[in-house]
Amino acid sequence: MEPVEEHRPDPDVLLDALKKEEEQSKRGKLKIFFGMCAGVGKTYEMLKAARQVLEQRVDIVVAYVETHRRKETMALVEGLEILPRKTMTYRSTTLEEMDLDAVLARKPRIALVDELAHTNAPGSRHPKRYQDVIELLDNGIDVYTTLNVQHLESRADTVAQITGIPVHETVPDSIFEMADEVELIDISEEVLLQRFAEGKVYAPDRAQSAVKNFFRKGNISALREMALRLTAERVDQQLQAYSTLKAIPGISKTRQRLLVGITADPDCERLIRLTRQLAYASKSSWVAVHVETPGASNAGIQDVLMKHINLAKELGAEVITTADRDVAAALVRVAHEQNARQIIVGRSFRSNIFPSHNIIDRLLERSTDIDVYVSSSHHETPRRRRHISLPHFTSEPRQYIAAFGAIVLVLGICYPFVEFLGYQTVALLLLMLISILPLFMGIGPVLLAATVSALAWDFLFIPPQFTFAIGKAADVLMFVAYFVFASVTSILTSRIRSQERAVRQREERTTALYKLTKELSSARGQDDVLRVAVASLRSIFRAEIVVLLGEPDGDISPTPHPSSTFIVDEKELGVAVWSYWNEKKAGRHTDTLPNAQATYYPIKGSRYTLAVFGIRRSDTAPLGFEQENLLDNCIALISTAMDREFLNELTRRTSVVEESERLYQTLLSSISHELRTPIATIMGNAENLQSEKVRVNVSIVDSLLAEIKTAAERLNRLVENLLDMTRVESGMFKVKLDWTDIHDLFASVLRNVARETKEHHVHINVMDTMPLVRLDFGLMEQVLVNLLYNAAAYTPKGSTISLEAEEQNGVCIITVSDNGPGFPSEALERVFEKFYRVPGTPSGGTGLGLSIAKSYVEAHKGTITASNRLSGGAQFTIRIPSEIKQMKLFESEA
């Protein structure tokens, strides 16, 4: 690093610090009263602090406090508001727990929650109390709580070593780091022991055994030191965080990163804790890496691995999984990617097959710029022995029977020909069978086959026959060779097979993800995305899926989306709702409401949580690490697709709003003129008629009345058009198909426009064999009236308007044409647009008639086009597919 940059804080670190500060302003603040062990007076101090803030009229309540019936403590509780506890019955025992929902509903400024490390009664929302506290903080409630040093996850091991008593109730260190304030409650060892003696901590009978077992002076000193050191480290960290944020030069350093390799080795747990401590002490972040190698791994190993990964996550590591044949290369690669300068591995980190060439050596070879720490191992590697031990026997009984049968069959065939073949040849044949068998079955049946065939060969073929004795030394050698060869072949083949299976599983996962990605990307619309998502999750995880969508008002819909494959009851819905609001997975196999039947995953969009997916598997065991990973990936993919659709929909809606605003503007400008003209005519002329002077002249009266009538008719037409338009826009009109005689339709239309076409020649031409067609008489009448009205309005008097109909292959074709001026070519494309009016046409139209006509025709699944006739004039062609009924059918009846 260049000297100039020395004092400049890393922008990422700064950003992190700012982000943290911003998050914290929304979150509640956590204050921990921290002590070395029980009896130092944490609860007492917490209550004292609570009384102080109460005096300042701060809204503070006791959510859960355990007084242990200590007099001083109980006195302090008095006067504070105590929220009722929740009683839970578990196996006939009644347990009292903090009522999380009651606290959330009460929403105080500060809540007192004693004993952070407490484990909740089964059936509670979260298994651990600290998770309840996190939820309170997430909801903006400040929390005062108490904690002993031995309950910190990273210290649990050490404490167990010191005191010899395993610690079961632990909290992740992250919550300790999350605390905004840690108040160390410290008293000297002597004072504490004095308190025990006085029975202030435990009732006298229990106190004795407690002092003997746990509270020995040496233990207490060690715990005290640990608590003091942790608090001091914290102060140091805070100072660092502060100086980063406020950019005090000199203190900030480049960010360090540690990397730890995760394996299924039991010692790995210690390694993870160690790395966390190192990271914490050196104020660096850390990455935990698991390298998947091809090879057999059974469910037990997977479970241990999963436990280690969860531990690393809990302790604040970023967990990365990668696949590689070479573990060392993978670790170095990830270290480079993650910018980690130190790799921490355990001594047990060795390759399975070639112990001599262990991973540590190769790691050292490859990592020239990276420090490698090798931690000493506590457990004397039971690991290697376990791996040499044979792969798991999972074959079904059927396979054993089949293997046995195959051997018996070959033996039976060979037996009569033994003289002819020679017994050595039989061994070769059997060996051939043994080499083939692993292709079809697992290791168990093959070993059985190997053993049985060896013994049978000995018994039946090797002289002396029908004894297990072997006469010649060469035959003994041959028997042993046969047995060893058969066993090794079978083991090697089955190992290859299991590696193949691992590769195939990985391939299947990749294929599943690829398929899902492809299908999701081609899915259009939310429903389609959900359909694809549900189908994929179902087939990959053999699970039933329920989809609950977020609603526009922000709440979650209680009715599952139709793509769901199971329904949720009230209780399950509660879990989904929790997952929705807290944006975390919940339900079965999670930390929240694990008693649920299904696991619920929030589908997070860029703005809101869009939905919750509930996944219910018939298999009660939790998903393995790889499957869990796959599911997380699937959920992430689905989230992205859902978000895409959500944003599309948002854009679409915005454009619809814009479009309707534009329409509204046009409507206003066009309609206001169109409405006002006839109204002005009617009002003006009516007033004229009231005047004596006008009324004298009968011919003027007549013409004024005619004017009024025309204006009223124009107004009426406009209103009808607007109403029609509204019906079309709102989708409220329905097409009612009925058998229609085109002659009848035309006659009706002509009657409607008789007055408008008085000055025109209307020519009707219907094909002789015109059948009945199925149309909505009223709608088509309207369409043709609009077209004829248009033709009459835009052609000079005396023009000819033709109304023609024919039927071709089940399509009814109606044309309306005139011999007027036709359309300007640029208008042809636009005549059906709403409010479009051909430039330069006389006023009196609204530009709605054709648009309505088009909508009505399209409602018949037909088309309407405008064109100019070759011989001059405009032409509209309507094509409507229809059932037809020939008239002839009825002539015969007459």
Partner 1 sequence: MSFQPTILVIDDEQQIRRLLDVTLSSNEYGVISAATGEEGMREAAMRRPNLIITDLGLPDVDGSEVVRRLREWYDGPIIVLSVRDTEQEIASLLDAGADDYCIKPFRPFELLARIRSALRHHETAPKDSVVTFGDVVVNLAARTVTKSGDDVKLTSLEYSLLALLVRNADKVLTHHYILEQVWGKNYSEETQYLRIYIGQLRKKLEENPAQPKHILTESRVGYRLVTNPSPSV
Residues engaged in binding partner 1 (CB under 8 A): 712, 716, 720, 723, 727, 736, 738-741, 743-744, 746-748, 750-751, 754-755, 758, 764, 766, 772, 777-778, 781, 885, 887, 890, 893-894
Compute the least distance from the CB of residue 819 to partner 1, in Å.
Answer: 20
Rg of the chain, C-alpha, whole Å = 43
- Check: CB of residue 260 under 8 Å from CB of residue 271: yes
Distance from the Cα of residue 202 to its chain's centroid: 49
Closer residue to partner 1 in complex, CB, 496/889: 889
Compute the least distance from the CB of residue 745 to partner 1, in Å.
Answer: 8
Q: For the purposes of burial, counting CB atoms within 10 Å of the CB of 654, is it exposed (0-12), middle (13-18) or buried (19 or more)?
A: exposed
Closer residue to partner 1 in complex, CB, 113/772: 772
Closer residue to partner 1 in complex, CB, 214/739: 739
Rounded CA separation 610/641 (Å):
11
* Residue carrying structure tokens 């980063």: 244
Inter-CA distances, 341 with 270, 334, 435, 869, Å: 21, 11, 49, 82
Residue 234, amino acid: R
- Check: CB of residue 413 under 8 Å from CB of residue 461: no
Closer residue to partner 1 in complex, CB, 565/710: 710
Rounded CA separation 558/573 (Å):
7
**387 is written with which tokens?**
């791996």
Compute the least distance from the CB of residue 761 to partner 1, in Å.
Answer: 13
Per the DSSP assignment, residues forming a β-bridge with 185 are 35
Compute the least distance from the CB of residue 777 to partner 1, in Å.
Answer: 6
Give the other-Cβ count within 10 Å of 184's Cβ: 21
Closer residue to partner 1 in complex, CB, 577/712: 712
Residue 672, amino acid: S
Which is nearest to 105 in space by CA: 129, 84, 119, 123?
84
Closer residue to partner 1 in complex, CB, 16/707: 707
Compute the least distance from the CB of residue 620 to partner 1, in Å.
Answer: 59
Helix, strand, coil percentages in the chain from 3-state DSSP, rounded to 5:
55, 15, 30
Per the DSSP assignment, residues forming a β-bridge with 725 are none
> ∠702-708-713 over CA atoms, to 5°?
125
Cα dihedral sign for 497, 498, 501, 503?
negative
Closer residue to partner 1 in complex, CB, 520/784: 784
Closer residue to partner 1 in complex, CB, 102/712: 712
Closer residue to partner 1 in complex, CB, 226/775: 775
- Check: CB of residue 884 under 8 Å from CB of residue 810: yes
Closer residue to partner 1 in complex, CB, 541/856: 856
Residues contacting residue 10 through CB under 8 Å, at least 6 positions apart: 252, 254, 255
> ∠594-596-600 over CA atoms, to 5°?
85
Inter-CA distances, 181 with 56, 184, 733, Å: 19, 10, 67
Compute the least distance from the CB of residue 872 to partner 1, in Å.
Answer: 25
544 φ, ψ (degrees, to nearest 5): -95, 145
Closer residue to partner 1 in complex, CB, 455/887: 887
| Backbone torsion region of residue 525, taken as left when φ is above 0, otherwise alpha when ψ lies between -120 and 50, otherwise beta | left
Compute the least distance from the CB of residue 763 to partner 1, in Å.
Answer: 10
Compute the least distance from the CB of residue 778 to partner 1, in Å.
Answer: 4
Closer residue to partner 1 in complex, CB, 350/717: 717
Closer residue to partner 1 in complex, CB, 127/778: 778
Closer residue to partner 1 in complex, CB, 767/887: 887
Q: Output b/e per residue, 737-759; b: 16+ Cβ within 10 A.
A: eeebbbeebbebbbebbeebbee
Compute the least distance from the CB of residue 775 to partner 1, in Å.
Answer: 11
Inter-CA distances, 800 with 143, 756, 761, 795, 813, Å: 89, 13, 5, 9, 20
Compute the least distance from the CB of residue 766 to partner 1, in Å.
Answer: 8
Compute the least distance from the CB of residue 727 to partner 1, in Å.
Answer: 8
Compute the least distance from the CB of residue 720 to partner 1, in Å.
Answer: 7
CA dihedral 679→680→681→682, nearest 10 degrees, is 50
3-state DSSP of 724-739: HHHHHHHCCCCCCCEE
Compute the least distance from the CB of residue 793 to partner 1, in Å.
Answer: 18
Closer residue to partner 1 in complex, CB, 88/675: 675
280 φ, ψ (degrees, to nearest 5): -65, -45
Which secondary-structure segment (H or E) carries 60? strand 60-64
Compute the least distance from the CB of residue 787 to partner 1, in Å.
Answer: 16
Compute the least distance from the CB of residue 676 to partner 1, in Å.
Answer: 19
Instruction: List, in sequence order, every beta strand (DSSP E) within 627-706.
Output: none
